[in-house]
């Protein structure tokens, strides 16, 4: 079957991939984090010292961070996400063709027909998982667009920034980007609730509310 990929995403591989991505993300932001220092200041009236965070200005580090972390990598992520969605849609089409061919060939054999019904039940569950993944990816793609627009524009046009000539337009795009980011994480809850029965059951138990019909949580 074109969508048999469960053996690829094992628990050990998933943990390794998540840890590797975490280390990579932290490493990419080390130069920016190195700009911040803890300094001490003294209150003249009380003569009490207190720490505060200060940043050492470095235009080269900021420029590299804008080019790499805020423009290049998000665009790569965006393109890869679109490619993955396209591949999944293609595999879904191929899988549906395989299932239709298997259904037609097993119609004359009762044993094969029974096995086909079991496979169809499993495949329908897998299909809902894939649909939820595709939907989440599409939501992410749409929500990422404003950020990509303003980060790329900020890199191309130096006036498109804070305290510059186009700062009002910059504020509009940054606010829109933040709003879309909040909507992204907010809408995902409803996607999981609709497609994942276990998530739905745990969510309802957390808010101490149970539906009148048990079929709604199956």
DSSP 34-63: TTEEEEEEEETTTTEEEEEEEE---HHHHH
| Long-range CB contacts for residues 46-55, cutoff 8 Å, separation at least 24 | none
Task: Specify if 112 maps to a domain.
Answer: yes
Q: Is residue 199 in a domain?
A: yes
Which tens digit of pLDDT belongs to each residue from 48-78? Answer: 888 888 888 778 888 888 889 989 999 999 9
Q: Taking the CB of residue 161, how many other CB atoms lie within 10 A of it?
A: 16
Going from the C-alpha of 105 to that of each of 3, 101, 177, 218, the distances in angstroms are 20, 6, 51, 32
State what percent of residues in the chain have pLDDT above 70: 80
Q: Is the pLDDT of residue 102 over 70?
A: no
For residues 3-11, give the mean pLDDT. 67
Q: What are phi and psi of 40, to 5 degrees?
A: -120, 140
Residue 104, domain member (yes or no): yes
In a domain, 3, yes or no: no
Return mean pLDDT, the chain. Answer: 80
Range of the domain at 149: 60-217
Identify whether 26 is part of a domain.
Answer: no
Q: What value does the mean pLDDT take over residues 137-148?
A: 90
Would residue 116 count as lying in a domain? yes
Does 68 map to a domain?
yes
Is pLDDT above 50 for 215?
A: no
Residue 29 included in any domain: no
Count of domains observed in the chain: 1
> What tokens does 125 get?
């569950």
């Amino acid at each position: 079957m074109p969508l048999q990929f469960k053996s690829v995403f094992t628990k050990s591989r998933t943990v390794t991939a998540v840890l590797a991505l975490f280390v990579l993300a932290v490493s990419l932001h080390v130069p920016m984090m190195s700009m911040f220092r803890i300094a001490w200041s003294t209150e003249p009236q009380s003569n009490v010292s207190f720490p505060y965070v200060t940043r050492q200005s470095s235009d080269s580090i900021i420029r590299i961070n804008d080019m790499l972390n805020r423009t290049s990598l998000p665009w790569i992520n965006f393109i890869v996400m679109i490619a993955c969605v396209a591949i999944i849609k293609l595999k879904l089409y191929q899988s549906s063709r395989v299932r239709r061919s298997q259904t037609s060939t097993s119609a004359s054999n009762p044993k094969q027909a029974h096995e086909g019904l079991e496979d169809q039940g499993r495949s329908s569950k897998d299909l809902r998982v894939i649909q939820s993944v595709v939907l989440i990816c599409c939501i992410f793609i749409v929500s990422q667009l404003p950020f990509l627009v303003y980060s790329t524009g900020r890199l191309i046009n130096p006036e498109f920034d804070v305290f510059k000539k186009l700062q009002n337009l910059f504020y509009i795009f940054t606010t829109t980007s933040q709003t879309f980011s909040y909507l992204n994480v907010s809408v995902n809850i409803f996607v999981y609730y609709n497609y994942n029965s276990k998530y739905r059951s745990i969510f309802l138990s957390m808010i101490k509310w149970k539906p009148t019909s048990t079929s709604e949580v199956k």
